[in-house]
Structure 1
Amino acid sequence: MQSFNNAHFMGEKVYSKTPTLWQAQKQLGLQYGWSQSLHSDNGLRSMLSLARSDCPITPYEWYEKLGYTMFISNHLHGLVAKKLPDRVKDCCKPHLSAREIEILKLSADGKTAYEIGIILCITERTTNFHIHRVIMKLGVNNKLAAVVAATRACLI
């Protein structure tokens, strides 16, 4: 699963802390545009930036072109990810929520899903849901392997 973050629009206000960068972009004719970031579950991140020299981006134009931008971002992200060596892919830590980390720590202590549910005041089903999400994010086959992988990656 991949997630898109909000678009970031180019402009003098955005570059207020880096005026030198803004001046360099203006000299190259890049005054108007936006950047669309993309994050995938395996920890890879990318950003597609589109820019032009004239005509500010209107909300209508951005909305009209957003679908194309997301499609292109997703496609290019996938192509680049395939070309990366495995060691680069392995070094990226997946994002685990605070609840997922909490459940992993309790699992590492030998607690069952039922016991974790009681400790955290959630149902056993909810505990298993979080465990399943961790297993998927870490690309392992079971809860024990998830605890080992999370420990190796310094996530818990």
Structure 2
Amino acid sequence: MVSWQEDQIQALLTVESDASFFSALSGIAIKLGFDYCAYGMRMPLPLSQPKLIMLNNYSDAWKKRYLEQNYLATDPTVAHGMRSTLPLTWTDEIDSKSLPFWEDARAHGLGVGWAQSCHDKRGIGGMLSLSRSDDQLSIKELEHITSQISWLVQTAHEGLSRLVVPRLMPEATANLTTREIEVLRWTADGKTSSEVGQIMNISERTVNFHVTNTLLKLGAANKTGAAIKAAILGLL
């Protein structure tokens, strides 16, 4: 297990491009017995339309079909990953509502699979999906790969985050001072600049100075937006 981690997964933490990351990830998926691999990551911002990145080696036909049918909105593995970080084998979610999706997936060579998500303190969510056309997951195989895939999910999240977060959500890398954080905390509680100044025993002008700095660092239009962003990103 140690050799598997060091020789295979550590590559995910040192690659310098999205393509290199996915090449390493899909190579690990093959070693685990899966032909297809997908990793999706969802930023928590902007709130109105969170940014997404989706990497996979599915067939062009399935990619087109998935897009045409807007399966991202109804995919049961995605729905499961949004509410739980527990692993999901595809047979766990076969019901009347999702049956058309599964039948469509099988028709495109995706008959057996595993999905598991993770979420970090910045509110960034990611999900790893591994699949193949047939050969059901046996109890013995599940016992062998469960811990490896769970470890892979976390490592893949760290590896891809390192590459895409500075590009897609630069505010997540903001380095707020202790004073700026305190000002935003009180602001998030609905305090005015004058009230924050009294609470912190500083002038209202100083409060506004800190607010201005946070607006720049977080790319926010106003102090309410800055407080919301900071809270979502776990900076408070």
How far 1:149 moved relative to its partner? 8.9
Which runs of at least 4 in structure 1 moved beyond 6 Å after TM superposition? 107-111
Give 1:70's aligned residue.
150
Which of these residues, 102, 106, 123, is aligned with residue 43 of structure 1? Answer: 123
Structure 2 CA distance for partners of 1:154 and 1:11, relative to 1, 3 Å:
same
TM-score normalised over the length of structure 1: 0.51
What is residue 27 of structure 1 aligned with on the other side?
107
Is 2:156 aligned against 1:80? Answer: no
- Indicate the residue corresponding to 2:137 in structure 1: 57
Q: Secondary structure at the match of 1:11?
A: helix
Paired positions, count: 110
Shift of 1:85: 4.3
For 1:1-156, list aligned pairs within 5 A: 5-11=85-91, 13-14=93-94, 16-86=96-166, 88-89=168-169, 105=189, 151-153=227-229
Residue 5 (structure 1) shift: 1.5
**Per the alignment, in what secondary structure is the counterpart of residue 24 of structure 1?**
helix
How far off is 1:37 after superposition?
Answer: 0.9
Deviation string, structure 1 residues 60-95 (Cα, Å, up to 9, x no partner): 322210121122222221121112243744678xxx
Cα distance change, pair 152–45 in 1 and its aligned pair in 2 (3 A): closer
SS at match of 2:91: coil
Give the drift of 1:40.
1.2
Unmatched tracts of structure 2, length 5 or more = 1-83, 173-187, 200-223
Please state how far the C-alpha of 1:53 moved relative to its aligned partner.
2.0
For structure 1, the 5+ residue unaligned runs are: 93-103, 112-147
Matching residue of 1:117: none
Q: Deviations over 1:3-37 (max 9, x none)?
A: x8111111384353233321221112211121011
Q: Cα RMSD between the aligned structures?
A: 3.8
Q: Which residue of 2 aligns with 1:120?
A: none
Partner of 2:134, secondary structure, is coil
The 8 Å contact of residues 36 and 48 in structure 1, kept in 2 or not, is answered as yes
- Distance in 1 (alpha carbons) for counterparts of 2:92 and 2:106: 10
Q: Cα deviations across residues 31-57 of structure 1 (Å, max 9, x unaligned)?
A: 112101111111111111111222222
CA distance 1:83–1:55, change in 2 (3 Å): same
- SS class of match (1:84): helix
- Residue type of the alignment partner of 1:5: T
Q: SS at the partner of 1:43?
A: coil
Q: Take 2:93 and 2:154, find their aligned partners in 1: how far apart are those partners?
A: 28
